């Protein structure tokens, strides 16, 4: 769930002067040509570049080298904003990159203004994102360049200095909040227990078995369509297909079926995500009912589902639905001919600590 801006920063936002600017006057739009699957080289090469998918994230973890004609150059220190007209995903890219797929859905917004750094583009990105709320795969994106956004001004010009300092201050406050959260929850302790060390070291020796999702957790449930235009602002997270904000496209006040926390969603592309909060979902979401599992076991099962469902088999032309979830088979660890829930809990706990260690060290570094 997204956090709120500190009261002092909110006050700064209220006291600043604002001007309206057309996106097309601020950015050049360029359709980013992708690599056809038949030409895509995925062999890792440290001298290469990352491949971005339609979620504006790395499609693959490794850097690769492909034909230069597919490379989009991004100047160091001058990031761009990218969005996909097919899914209404939007994000910031600060490195030269390739994109996967060769349709025309991936758009790059290149700043027209000379003064430009990561903080400033991030501030503008947030302003544009507000215009994208509620948009999805059924909505036209042809009008993006004609949208107007509000930006801070000083002496009749965009106040880039204000944007820069505001984002720096916001980052510092968020680091302080993160540090307090880690301390209160005990997550600042990243030392592995003996059981956790053993779970990691024994991973290669684990016995696995195949299980059917419906046999384990019953019939999956399909969400119901709720068009963007019909959504009422509220507090309930509404899950749709996509990776941005973990698929939460809006917070609604409509009367919809509310799904329990500690469940798993699988979107139309087969992407599985754990939900530790109550939520609504549209008709491109299948809900797997893992309410009775421990939180850590449910997270483990999420990864097992994702590995089986997110294989490239499902797309706009062939969606993943609840019936596909019911037919899905996953691999889980077993002991004494039964699912080893204890191992799943311990392993996920160990992985959490390995991940959180980097976060704790980051916080310490930023607040020195």
The tens digit of pLDDT for each residue in 323-353 reads 999 999 999 999 999 999 999 999 999 999 9
Residues 48-70: tens digit of each pLDDT: 999 998 778 887 888 999 999 99
Query: Residue 136: its pLDDT value, please?
Result: 61
Residue appearing with tokens 């191992």: 343
At 203 the three-state DSSP class reads helix
207-339, superfamily in CATH? DNA methylase specificity domains (3.90.220.20)
**Gyration radius (Cα) of the chain, Å:** 22
* Cβ proximity of 45 and 64 under 8 Å: yes
Q: How confident is the model at residue 366 (pLDDT cuts 50, 70, 90)?
A: low
190: tokens are 């990243």
List Cβ neighbours of 342 (8 Å cut-off, separation of 6 or more): none
Concatenating the DSSP letter of every residue in 258-319 gives -BPSSEEEEETT--EEEE-S-BEE-TTEEEE--TTS-HHHHHHHHHHHHHHH-SS---SSS-
User: Which of 150-159, 237-246, 257-266 is predicted least confidently?
Assistant: 237-246
* Cβ proximity of 53 and 99 under 8 Å: yes
Query: Residue 6: its pLDDT value, please?
Result: 60
Query: Residue 187: its pLDDT value, please?
Result: 78
* Cβ proximity of 339 and 333 under 8 Å: yes
18: tokens are 């604002």
Q: Is the pLDDT of residue 368 over 60?
A: no
Q: What is the CATH number of domain 17-159?
A: 3.90.220.20
Any bridge partners for residue 250, and if so which? 238
Closest CA to 258 of 227, 234, 230, 241: 234
Concatenating the DSSP letter of every residue in 25-74 gives HHEEEEEPPPBPGGG----EEEEEEEEE-TTSSBSSSS-E---GGGPBP-
Count of C-beta atoms within a 10 Å radius of residue 67: 10
Query: Residue 167: its pLDDT value, please?
Result: 92
Query: Residue 11: its pLDDT value, please?
Result: 76
Q: Is the pLDDT of residue 5 over 80?
A: no
Query: Residue 357: its pLDDT value, please?
Result: 86
pTM above 0.75, yes or no: no
222: tokens are 């399909």
User: What stretch(es) of the chain map to CATH 3.90.220.20?
Assistant: 17-159, 207-339
List Cβ neighbours of 95 (8 Å cut-off, separation of 6 or more): 49, 50, 74
Mean pLDDT for all residues in the chain: 89
Residues 185-243: tens digit of each pLDDT: 777 888 899 999 999 999 999 999 999 999 999 999 999 999 888 999 999 999 998 88
């Amino acid at each position: 769930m997204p956090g709120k801006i500190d009261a002092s920063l909110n006050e700064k936002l209220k006291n600043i002067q604002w001007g309206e600017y057309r996106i097309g006057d601020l950015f050049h739009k360029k359709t980013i040509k992708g690599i056809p699957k038949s030409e895509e080289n995925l062999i890792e090469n440290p001298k290469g570049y990352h491949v971005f998918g339609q979620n504006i994230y790395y499609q693959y973890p490794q850097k690769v080298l492909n034909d230069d004609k597919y490379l989009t150059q991004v100047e160091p220190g001058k990031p761009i904003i990218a969005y996909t007209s097919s899914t209404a995903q939007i994000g910031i890219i600060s490195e030269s990159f390739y994109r996967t797929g060769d349709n025309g859905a991936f758009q790059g917004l290149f700043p027209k203004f000379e003064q430009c750094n990561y903080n400033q583009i991030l501030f503008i990105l947030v302003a544009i994102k507000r215009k994208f709320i509620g948009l999805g795969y059924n909505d036209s994106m042809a009008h993006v360049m004609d949208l107007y956004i509000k930006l801070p001004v000083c002496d009749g010009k965009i106040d880039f200095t204000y944007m820069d300092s505001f984002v720096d201050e916001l980052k510092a406050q968020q680091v302080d909040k993160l540090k307090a959260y880690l301390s209160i929850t005990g997550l600042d302790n990243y030392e592995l227990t003996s059981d956790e060390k053993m779970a990691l070291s024994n991973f290669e020796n684990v016995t696995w078995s195949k299980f059917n999702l419906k046999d384990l957790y019953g019939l999956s449930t399909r969400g119901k369509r709720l068009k963007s235009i019909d959504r009422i602002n509220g507090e309930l997270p509404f899950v749709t297909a996509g990776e941005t904000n973990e698929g939460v496209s809006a917070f609604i006040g409509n009367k919809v079926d509310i799904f329990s926390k500690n469940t798993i969603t699988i979107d139309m592309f087969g992407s599985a995500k754990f939900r530790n909060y109550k939520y609504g979902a549209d008709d491109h979401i299948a809900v797997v009912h893992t309410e009775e599992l421990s939180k850590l076991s449910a997270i483990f099962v999420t990864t097992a589902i994702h590995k089986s469902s997110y294989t490239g088999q499902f797309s706009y032309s062939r969606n993943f639905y609840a019936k596909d979830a019911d037919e899905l088979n996953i691999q889980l660890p077993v002991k004494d001919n039964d699912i080893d829930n204890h191992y799943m809990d311990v392993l996920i706990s160990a992985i959490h600590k390995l991940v959180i260690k980097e976060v704790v060290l980051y916080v310490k570094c930023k607040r020195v």
